[in-house]
Every structure is written in C-alpha cells, then in structure tokens.
Amino acid sequence: MKTARDPRVLIIGAGMSGLLMAIKLIEAGFRNFQIVDKAPEIGGTWRENTYPGIGCDVAAHYYTYQGVPNPDWSTRLPQGAEIQQYLLGVVEQHDLRRHIAFNREVAGADHDGRSWTVRFKDGEVQRADFVVACCGLLHHPRYPDIPGLKDFQGAMFHSARWDHSVPLDGKRVGVIGTGSTGAQIISKLAQRPLQLKVFQRTPQWIFPLPDRRYSGLEKSLLRLFPWIARIIHHSYRVAFENLFAAAVIKPCWQRRLMSRLCKWNLTKVKDPVLRQKLTPDFEPLCKRLVMSTEFYPAIQRPNVQLIVDDIDHIAARGVVTKDGVLHEVDVLALATGFDAHAYFRPLELRNAQGQTLSEAWKDGPYALRTVAVPGFPNFFFTLGPQSPIGNFSAISISETQIHYILRCIELVRSGRCQTLSPKAEATDRFNAWIRSAMPDTIWVTGCRNWYMSKNGVPSAWPFSGARFRRELREPDLAEFETAA
C-alpha cells in the first residue's frame, strides 16, 4: 500500500454542487483543491437566471444543504434571489471564496495515465489528480428553431438571459413556452400593466402546490432550535420522494392522486374554451410537472391572451402563426428550455489512449452510477446521465453523488490506488438495469419531454430516492479499473 497523500482536486463550477463538493472536501480534511468558474460570481443557475417570477418549486427547507440550515427562508417555495443569497451566505460561512478562481473557463482536460492537465480558455494549464465537473444540468439555453428569429426588431431574449434594461410596462410582451419557466414568467408579468401574449405549443398539467410566507415566530423557533429545520427537511424529503418521485416510477396510487389533483386544478379555469386550450392530451407527470397556484389565475386575466395556433415564423413586428395572423409584440421572451443532454460539455476530455469524451458518448451520454464514465480516470460529475432530476431536490441528489465521489477520492488519499475509472461491464450492467425499469415510468407514456434522450431512453432515475442513496452509499472497487 502506498503512503497516504492529499490528491489535488479541481472542481469545475461554483454553483450549488461545486460549493457543496468544496465543503465536503474541507470536512474530510482535504486542503489541496480549487473551484474554478467561468463567471465572476458564485451561484450557477441561481446567478444566471433572473427572469421575473423566478423561484424554486421544491420546498425551501428541502432545497437546503443538510448541514447548512437556513432559518430565514421567507416563503415555503423560495424565490431565486433568496436562494442566491443563501448560497452567498454559505460561501461566507465556510470561507470558500479563497478557494474559488472566477472568470476561469475550462476548455478541456487531458489525462496522461497518472493525472489530468486541465486547459483553460485563456491558455493557462493546471495539473490535477481529480477533476469534478459540477456544471449543473440546465445551463445551455435552447433557442427555438423558428424561422425569422433574427428578423424581429423588438427586444428578444432567452429566459436564462433576461435583459432587465428592457422596459415592459405599457408594452406588448410575448412569451414563447409554457414549461416551469414560462409559467413563472407568465404568472408574474400578468400582474403588471402590460399586454401579455402567451404562445403555447403544448398545454402542461399544473399541480397546485401552495406557497405561504413564514412568520417571524417560525423563523425565531428555527434559529433557536436548528433540529426543527432538520425535521422539516426530512419531512419534505419524505413527502416529495413518496409523492412526486414515486408517481413517475410506476402506476400507483400516488400517480392517480397527482393526476386527480392536476385535473381538479384545471377546473379553476372557468371559460370552457380556454380550459380546452389548456387541457393536455397526455398523462400528468409525463412532462416535468409545473407547480403553480398562480398560472391559471394569471392566464384568465383580461390583459393576457393565450395563443395556441402553431407558430409559422417570426417577423419584424411580432409572431406570425400558421393561420396567417401577425401577433404584434414589442418584447419577445423565449422560455423555450435548455439542452438537458449536454451536461458539462462543450468541455472536452481526452484520455491517455487518445479517446475523447465525444467519441465515448457518440451514441449518447452514459455513466456508472450517474457520476463517472469508463475510460476517463479520476473524472467525476454531479447531475450526470440517469440522475434523479425533475421533481426531486437537485441539492439532495448532489449530496448523494458528492458523498460517493468523495469516497472515491478518499480511496486515492488512503493509498489504495492512484487512479480509478469505471469498468465498462459494470457500467453496461448499471445502464441495462436502468433501461429495464423504463417501460413502467410515466416518461414513456406519450409526450414530448426533455428527459428523453436521442436513443429513446429517458435520462432520469426510474427508482426511488432511497434506492439512489443505497446505490451510491459506497464505491465498490470491483466496478472500477484501478492503477497503483
């Protein structure tokens, strides 16, 4: 056995997962690590997305690191700015800023059989024993392939690149897309003095998850007795995993209950013609469920128009639908989603045999236990292929993955090996097991959803949250190629 040593770890991304990776490394006694981020500030998705109405539809006390409770959440469902504030507070609390290099974009990394040489866009290089990509899942805006986008003469931006310098009040504002993001934007903008034109390609089921403000007394109690926050965290996890997450896995009472509640919620739309336009022709949860008590009231307001005719093209003054009507708008917001299958790319990896990650993933992304790819030693990632996503807390999922990754790094620190990379057979076995569970899931019941990969297999976790934690409790060295 070799002498123990502190491997050098490079974390890519100072968002929710990257910060947690750093905290866990510190807690485990690692000092030789750095986080790099292409942006000038921490936060990832919560720094980048600032559209009106941005929030998280996972309960705040569950969308919180287990070890860093926050007694000050002001509402059950946290607003985006408040999550960013929480993350900034975590950085100060754990003195993480000194470990972060901002404005450092990684272009790629090459492995020579022993360690990684990481290449930055500015031409610099750095050596690392481990690279952990914590780049988030939904960070490549997907612009719609609608003809004429460039012809539009008003202001136009993607939801993830909201231009706050553009005035909206008194204007005609178009929103394309009615997913989770579109629903939040529409709910907020409808309350403002403007004309809102909503372009819906596919209606969504809306689950009425109620929000509420926390009182001063509740916050004081949480501050005095942090164990209450732990109980609330646990209770929300049990509730979310046993309702939303369980409902997607296979036909069960949770699926029927969710379905009934969504259908009941739709009855709040009083005008039958409007209700018909908003009625999906697929099962609730097939697409990622939109959670909102505000969307239906918003869409029924007199300043809001729902347009369901297919878009033909964008013209200089607005959106032209297939029926030939020009819907004039001054501002156009594209709430058209993200490329959910890019993961940490365009970052390119090359291993000692000269194989690139693009070559390894030419038939689609795959991983061992959602966190590593065969042939790429000591490279790990969070929220990778087949991760539990959608109606889970992404923080909770990252916690499980980071626990596993840390255990792998500890194997090297303890001298058990110098490098480890997943065995192809173990990875194939894992993915075959996942694929075998897909036919029961709601994602394959006939709708267009962003979980679906090009090869027709949803990139999501078809088992319970508890099963995910069990599968990632401890790395099994028999699943890895190791080198001393």
Q: Which positions touch ligand NAP (CB under 6 A)?
A: 55-58, 138, 144-146, 176-182, 184, 201-202, 288, 311, 335-338, 390, 448, 450
- Return the number of the residue (351 or 400) whose C-beta is nearest ligand NAP: 400
- Return the number of the residue (337 or 422) whose C-beta is nearest ligand NAP: 337
Cα within 13 Å of Cα(222), Cβ side? 19
In angstroms, give the least distance from the CB of 182 to ligand NAP.
Answer: 5
CA dihedral of residues 240, 243, 246, 247 (deg, nearest 10): -130
Q: Which amino acid is at 168?
A: L
In angstroms, give the least distance from the CB of 310 to ligand NAP.
Answer: 8
- Return the number of the residue (140 or 423) whose C-beta is nearest ligand NAP: 140
CA dihedral of residues 160, 91, 109, 28 (deg, nearest 10): -140
- Dist. CA 68–CA 80, nearest whole Å: 18
Structure tokens at 356: 């690139």
- Return the number of the residue (185 or 411) whose C-beta is nearest ligand NAP: 185
In angstroms, give the least distance from the CB of 184 to ligand NAP.
Answer: 6
- Dist. CA 363–CA 290, nearest whole Å: 30
In angstroms, give the least distance from the CB of 44 to ligand NAP.
Answer: 13
- Return the number of the residue (418 or 449) whose C-beta is nearest ligand NAP: 449
> How far is CA 395 from each of CA 15, 19, 37, 433, 444, rounded to the nearest angstrom?
11, 11, 19, 25, 26
Residue ranges of the alpha helices (H) in 109-168?
A: none
- Return the number of the residue (10 or 311) whose C-beta is nearest ligand NAP: 311
Cα within 13 Å of Cα(290), Cβ side? 27
Q: Are the C-beta atoms of 412 and 483 separated by less than 8 Å?
A: no
In angstroms, give the least distance from the CB of 225 to ligand NAP.
Answer: 28
Cα within 13 Å of Cα(484), Cβ side? 4
Residue ranges of the alpha helices (H) in 165-268?
A: 180-189, 216-224, 226-240, 246-249, 253-266
In angstroms, give the least distance from the CB of 292 to ligand NAP.
Answer: 9
Give the orientation angle of helix 80-93 with respect to helix 16-27, to 10 degrees.
20
CA dihedral of residues 470, 234, 49, 90 (deg, nearest 10): -100
- Return the number of the residue (74 or 355) whose C-beta is nearest ligand NAP: 74
Phi, psi dihedrals of residue 181, rounded to the nearest 5°: -70, -50
- Return the number of the residue (55 or 388) whose C-beta is nearest ligand NAP: 55
- Return the number of the residue (18 or 179) whose C-beta is nearest ligand NAP: 179
In angstroms, give the least distance from the CB of 191 to ligand NAP.
Answer: 18
In angstroms, give the least distance from the CB of 309 to ligand NAP.
Answer: 11
Exposure b/e, 305-343, CB count within 10 A at least 16 = b: ebbbbebbebbebbbbbeeeeebebbbbbbbbbbebbbb
- Return the number of the residue (56 or 442) whose C-beta is nearest ligand NAP: 56
Q: How many residues are there in the chain?
A: 484
In angstroms, give the least distance from the CB of 76 to ligand NAP.
Answer: 12
In angstroms, give the least distance from the CB of 178 to ligand NAP.
Answer: 4
